[in-house]
Amino acid sequence: MSKFYVTTPIYYTNDVPHIGHAYTTVAADVMARYHRLCGDDVFFLTGVDEHGQKLERAAAEKGMSEQEYCDNISARFMSLWEKMDISNDYFIRTTSERHKAAAQKFFRAVYDAGDVYKAYYEGWYCVPCERFYKENELLDENICPIHERPAEWIKEENYFFRLSKYQDRLLKLIEENPDFIQPESRRNEVLSMIRSGLEDRSISRSSVKWGVPVPIDPDGGVLYVWVDALSNYISSIGYGDDPDTLARYWPADIHLLAKDILVFHGIIWPALLMSANLPLPKQIFGHGWLTKDGKKISKTIGNVIDPSELADEFGTDAVRYFFMREFTFGSDGDFSRESFIHRINSDLANDLGNLLNRTLALIKQNFGDTIPQPEGEPEGHDQELIDTALKILPRLKPHIDKLAFSDALDVIWDLVRRANKYLDESAPWRLAKDPSKKDRVAAILYNCVEALRFLSIFVSPFMPGASKRIVEQIGLDGQAAAQTFADLEWGKMPSGVAMGKVEPIFPRIEVEKKQEVKPSTSEITIDDFKKVDLRVAEVLSAEAVEGTDKLLSLTVDAGSGPRTIVAGVAEYYSPEDLVGKKVILVANLKPAKVRGVESQGMLLAAVGKKDLSILSIDKDMPSGTKVR
Ligand code: MSP
């Protein structure tokens, strides 16, 4: 039996889960589920990266302990993965004792190899990236190219890893193993980086407290969060405590990640493993970014889309399908609601959903609730349908092996399209008018059910929920989980079984008519606008206004000391969400009493029909700064 060990990156717990994280995790889940269908011994790992300076600061800003902060966000990731039908075998948390011990053991192995020394680090650091930057890697004014925020200058005495020592071995490895880093464009990026010279890297942070203590020096600070994080791939399978499991799964077959963290996985991680004398992963795949209006989706940029909300609105399978079908996995892809709805309606509601509905409705009309018995030898277009079905798996494999998910789904859809066409060409509804053709009608509809059973297996890595519902509706309840690629034998579908409850699995999404955006008031002059005194104000405290669940009473400071305002935001923000936030205040609004509280100003917010978003500033500016 082959084994298959696949990982996602472990996600930062100072972030909120968004569709970018879901994108990688769904892709890894597809790989894991596909390999389980092949009968492989699969280990699928995901988890969270809970240490580092960014987290330390985020927790302090919220007035929480670091652990409390991590516990909250980790729970959000875990429940999201449950909702997204993610079938991970283990969820690693880097704050677990098990991981910390293994990370220390790994650091020590690198130290024992003679690859660690102490020196001063002085340079730029982007806290949201948790990475050191060279000046020429930053944009003008030392702005981080990923987060579009200024990097910070740091100077500290740290432990360094002799990365430079591994330059030649790394180069040879990547040159001789074209599959080690994929896709090709990413491999070339890494190659040119190595060729331009590798410098030793700081692998500890003396000024950071929230992390795994450096094991060789009680005053040495903590492991650089990336060294801590990368070691999750081995700590999760027993590097510290379970050599059998480690030997069973390591080296990983594939580390999946996006291009932003390729250097860590394609250069630093293999070099550290070489130093610790451990085998190297077989493949590192750096996929593209999901973007919104061309910008990477990220909390720091402020354009996150919550996958959980999408799944609530459209269903988990639709979201998973869209991620895997719409974009070329290696390249960036722009997310839009319009393309989402279009894709779901055309591929799922029209093609796959329709095949299921039509087939089952025709069976109901002609054979009651029972799957009919196929009669007679193949005739008409039967053989073409059977051939198409039997050829899907060998055509699918090369695409999955290359993580070309969209192409893989396109191959599967050849069967969806062929089966719909088969139904049209065979027109059983016409034959059914002639009682002497009943056997032929039975054969045609049986073939369609058999195609649907094949499809339930093919789509199950992508849409496990839909696969299960197809299986239930064609009457194979309970056997869904048991199906594997070994069940792709034409004619294995039992006849005579009772159909399950028939319901559309992908209802069509009705597209809302775009609201006409009319200017809401007549024109004003710049002088009119200047009458409004808008200021940056910090929310000092917040509490609910008694007797209503819509209002919050906020104490804010717009540069001239605390004042109270009442804001109708309680349905969208809790008081804790707002404390410490910098908002935009209409500072010269005539005070008015709201529910007995005098409100001395008003904050600005975007107000939709079902949601509300408070205007804020994307850089820290002092309270009282004028807004115009
Ligand atoms: N904690 C590190 C990873 C350590 S792994 C040893 C980290 N975390 S992260 O929360 O920032 O997640 C980065 C990963 O999330 C990316 O590599 C990618 O897998 C996924 N994505 C985050 N935003 C993304 C997009 N906008 N688009 C696609 N994937 C994205 O880096």
344, two tokens: 């779901």
147 belongs to the catalytic site:
yes
pLDDT beyond 50 at 515: no
Question: Span 29-55, mean pLDDT?
Answer: 97
- Residue 228: CB within 6 Å of ligand 1? no
Q: Tens digits of per-residue pLDDT, 57-96?
A: 999 999 999 999 999 999 999 999 999 999 999 999 999 9
Q: From 49, 106, 228, give the residue whose CB has the most ligand 1 atoms within 8 Å, as the site to mutate.
A: 49
Catalytic entry in 147, 397, 421, 438 = 147
H helices of 63-208, in order, are 66-83, 97-112, 167-176, 184-195
Please report, rounded to a whole number, the percentage of residues in the chain having pLDDT higher than 90: 79
Q: Tens digits of per-residue pLDDT, 328-367?
A: 999 999 999 999 999 999 999 999 999 999 999 999 999 9
pLDDT at 608: 84
The answer, as to whether pTM is greater than 0.75, is yes
Catalytic entry in 51, 100, 126, 265 = 126
Higher pLDDT, 149 or 462: 462
Cβ atoms of residues 86 and 316 within 8 Å: no
Q: How far apart are CA 16 and CA 435, in angstroms?
A: 62
SS3 readout for 462-478: CCHHHHHHHHHHCCCCC
Local structure of residue 499 (DSSP, 8 states): P
Nearest-atom index, ligand 1, CA of 233: 6
21 belongs to the catalytic site:
yes
Q: What is the largest CA-CA distance in the chain?
A: 92
Q: Which of 13-17, 77-81, 220-224 has the lowest mean pLDDT?
A: 13-17
Question: Span 523-534, mean pLDDT?
Answer: 86
Q: Tens digits of per-residue pLDDT, 462-489?
A: 999 999 999 999 999 766 557 899 999 9
Q: How far apart are CA 65 and CA 28, in angstroms?
A: 32
390, two tokens: 């039997």
pLDDT beyond 70 at 599: yes
Angle, helices 382-401 vs 19-37, to 10°: value is 120
Question: Span 308-337, mean pLDDT?
Answer: 95
129 belongs to the catalytic site:
yes
pLDDT beyond 50 at 612: yes
pLDDT at 479: 63
Q: How far apart are CA 396 and CA 407, in angstroms?
A: 8
pLDDT band at 300 (very low <50, low <70, confident <90, very high): confident
Question: Span 311-317, mean pLDDT?
Answer: 96
